[in-house]
Structure 1
């Protein structure tokens, strides 16, 4: 089940935007043991639907007219919850997502 909190929903709906959830991979190098590790972080962006490239790579969910594009590489572990993080003055709103893991 998909849920978008009121602040995030109002922001996306008022500007005709959609949410795109994907994975950011980064490498961590440790000098102490000469080990390298790859870390996967989930990132969420707010875009116009026309800006979403390769739509076949995403599962599409809809919540009251607002679309959420979820990368097929991600695993849904519970209810998907998109929310707006606390707003910092003079910055664009930032969003988060719960109920998804990167494997």
Structure 2
């Protein structure tokens, strides 16, 4: 693309809207992942007895295992949500903005 098209894209108010939506969404998902990971680390550091509590009487599997698995699976799901929204809404807006700039 030429410099003129880049200028038109950046001047489009919908481009600012796209940047804002994409950034807010990425920051929100990043915060959710970081908070859950650090919450688990704080729980391990300051209340390890909670994490080593058996799931049931006589079980060797502790509650920390499903909590860790849930955090990992949740991170995968959030990544999938981001990719889905990026390939849908954000790409659609991006293509519309480029189409307007190339007219």
**Superposition TM-score, scaled by structure 2 size:** 0.21
- Return the structure number with greater helix share: 2
Higher relative contact order (CA 8 A, sep 6+): 2
Bigger radius of gyration: 2
* Richer in strand (by share): 1
For normalisation by structure 1, the TM-score amounts to: 0.21
